[in-house]
Amino acid sequence: MRCVECGERKFREKRKTETMEAAGMRFAAEVPVDVCAKCGHEYLHGPAMVEFERRVAVELARRGAPLAETFRRLRKALGLRAADLAALLEVRPETISRWENGQTEVDWPSYLLTWWMVEDALEGKSETMDKLKAPRIAQAPGSRAKPIKVTLAAPLRRSA
């Protein structure tokens, strides 16, 4: 990496307090930055900022912040376009827009699923999203489910 200010290639890492305001609350986090050894220009670590944004979105959800703003932050924290989230939740993209703009109330199950996807992402998982995608994969045009042979390993016991 080269500094865009002076062209230097040497950097040192330090930690810096970044703040973010959301739903009338201020959040702060220590994030890593690379500092140019020559001119001192700072470069934020992208993945650290993504994690900060995800943590803010989850904290808003936990604190019961306004659903429209929190839902929008949750979607953005996932890095999904409204159309992509709409497909996962089986709603129209216009519905996502109405939820995010506060024109209609956010559907609670959709809100929870989106929240859980962000929590999964913070843990490096994608279980909730994978489960939402699974039915579409099985129903994809031209896809044929391969038969699975199930055998009983031992007879079941009947309770008296």
User: 3-state DSSP call for residue 88?
Assistant: helix
pLDDT in tens, 81-134: 999 999 999 999 999 999 999 999 999 999 999 999 999 999 999 999 999 998
User: Is it true that domain 46-134 has CATH number 1.10.260?
Assistant: yes
Q: Considering the chain, what percentage of its residues have pLDDT values greater than 90?
A: 81
The full set of domain ranges for the chain reads 46-134
Question: What gap in Å lies between CA 29 and CA 20, rounded to an integer?
Answer: 9
pTM: 0.76
Return the pLDDT at 149: 75
